[in-house]
Amino acid sequence: MTTEVLLQEDRGPIRILTLNRPEKLNALNTALTESLVAWLKQSDRDDAISVVVLTGAGRAFCAGADIGEFKDLTPDQAARVEHRAQLTMQSHLVFSQIRKPVIAAVRGAAMGGGAGLALASDMVVASETMKLGYPEIRHGILPAIVLTNLVRQIGRKAAFELVAQGNPLSAARAYELGAVNKVVPDDRLMAEALALAESLAAYQPEALFAIKQLFHKVVDLPLAEGLEEGRKANIAMRALHAK
């Protein structure tokens, strides 16, 4: 795993992952994206870790994809284009696949793929300086992979307005739409995110992980199917406590 572009620090049961390309506003190149996916999966396997906090070094969370790599993603490089698209998709999907809750601590720009990472997290603590948006339309492209999760997070009308106009949301507006859980002063961002992580980590890990797994199973299911998944989880937890 590449450690230079992504920093890892453990504080008891909490793992802090920091996107570490501050000179590029933590834009997602292939190395950073691969490292993020790898560290999230590794954190899920680490029995000592209960909660992950994801943040960005410097003044921005993540400015989105590193457009400097786009020059190599041309139609005649089909394998490279496919690999990058697959990697981008996995970087947003992995949040729902791991058992450990992920809290995003977001300051400054969270744009395009960076906004996607924030919304893919289970909870978001936003600095008052946060600007969250999808400016792709202004560059003649579209927010393809991140669009699916965006609609699930803030609803159809707000999501369409956001991607069709390209104007970013302020932290206050993102809170109104339910895209973030809490807005705090910039100098309190990490303290508030870590306090939230500590409150989750204080619960029994088996229950915390089961809640996340069940949540992501039922969130898009029809009512009857969701209730059935809940019934199975209820039985499994009772069996666990009977041991």
Positions annotated as catalytic residues are: 136
At residue 14, the 3 state secondary structure works out as strand
**Distance of alpha carbon 160 from alpha carbon 157, whole angstroms:** 5
CA–CA separation, 131 and 110 (whole Å): 6
Task: Measure the CA–CA gap between 231 and 236, rounded to whole angstroms.
Answer: 9
219 DSSP 8-state letter? T
In the block, residue with structure tokens 């002063």: 185
Looking at residue 168, the DSSP 8-state letter turns out to be P
The residue among 140, 136, 138 whose CA lies nearest residue 150 is 136
Rg of the chain on CA atoms, in Å: 18
3 state SS of 55: strand
| C-alpha span between 200 and 194 (Å, rounded) | 10
Q: Collapsing DSSP states into helix, strand and coil, what is residue 143?
A: coil
